[in-house]
Amino acid sequence: MSDHPSRRDFLGAATGVAAGAALGLPRAALAAPAVHIRPPARPVAVASANGIRGVERAGQLVSQGMDTLDAAVEGVKIQELDPDDTSVGYGGLPNEMGVVQLDASCMHGPSKRAGAVGALEGIKTPSVVAKYVLLYTNHIMLVGEGAKRFALSYGFTEEDLLTERSRQAWLRWRANRGASDDWLDVPADADLVARPTGTINLNCVNPNGEISSVTTTSGLAWKIPGRVGDSPIIGAGQYCDNDVGAAGSTGRGESNIKVCGAFLTVDHMRRGMSPTDAALETLRRVVATTEPRLLDPEGRPTFDLNFYAVNARGEFGAAAIYGARAGGRGSQFAVFDGETAGLRDCAYLYERR
């Protein structure tokens, strides 16, 4: 059987369309090209590895009928409120002045709305403040003192976010940061003196194919005050399109901002790529746009960056620039697959030397 219509078939179809229009039939009643995305059979949540508790919580809440954005925010709040987690929220590692500044953003697929906060001080749960920006304002992003005033007006409590653990980490960094400064070197702790980044991205989809995403962070440790990375940038730190899927990132935010990586990953899925392939393709774009000073002699980035993605069918994946160290584990991501939560290995571009 031929896949190509005959001239008679074509003319007949055209006549039918014209007749339908003349009769005033609704456009939806006429045959037209369409993309039908089958919703997943079960709820799915995917996140960076430090969101393992978050994906389990979000997945359970979505299973019970909670809205996907509310569930995603409840998931990341676990880490935001944990004083032993130095990557986000309360206890996050501070900027170079010893002040914790937090960033977060979120998108709600069904309503096509977004909210974000940047350089927020004194509020433990920036993801919730970002959700309030989405719910109650005609804006998308609030920053700095204005973001804090907004949070306080909605009943949030201002608190000191610097725990003793994060304070000691900052003091060690400050003492050891330069041989010629006025601070005496102190015994170094490799885990504390290193310059870590900390972020959680969490994306979830319910059985109806409704999607939301959220990213929250304390940002780059010891950063210049006021520095904002990719996390609160819609289209970079996270992005959600309810017809396609959602994606987000952790790692070097400046390199992600330049390619609008979360949006690009979702757009790759829009064109038919799987979540894993979409994330890998975005990372190739990151490498292609990296300035020479951030490349090693082999032309590979001297930083890492990860993307996490889920589509409207509940398929998920993640990718990193680098895989495992020799004899070690590679970059991982957290998944709630509808039944259990666990860690899985990311795809990657390069073997780690």
Residues catalogued as catalytic: 199
- Contact in structure between 307 and 283 (CB atoms under 8 Å): yes
Round to whole Å and give the CA distance between 100 and 318. Answer: 29
Q: What is the 3-state secondary structure (H, E, C) of the chain?
A: CCCCCCHHHHHHHHHHHHHHHHCCCCHHHCCCCCCCCCCCCCCEEEEEHHHHHHHHHHHHHHHCCCCHHHHHHHHHHHHHCCCCCCCCCCCCCCCCCCCCCEEEEEEECCCCEEEEEEEECCCCCHHHHHHHHHHHCCCCEEEHHHHHHHHHHCCCCCCCCCCHHHHHHHHHHHHHCCCCCCCCCCCCCHHHHCCCCCEEEEEEECCCCCEEEEEEECCCCCCCCCCCCCCCCECCCEEEECCCEEEEEEECHHHHHCCCHHHHHHHHHHCCCCHHHHHHHHHHHHHHCCCHHHECCCCCECCCEEEEEEECCCCEEEEEEECCCCCCCCCEEEEECCCCEEEEECEEEECCC
Q: Give the side-chain half-sphere CA count within 13 A for 107.
A: 27
Determine whether 350 is exposed, middle or buried from the number of CB atoms within 10 Å of its CB (0-12, 13-18, 19+). Answer: middle
Cα→Cα distances 288→28, 229, 230, 282, Å: 43, 20, 18, 10
Q: Rounded CA gap, 298 and 322, in Å?
A: 14
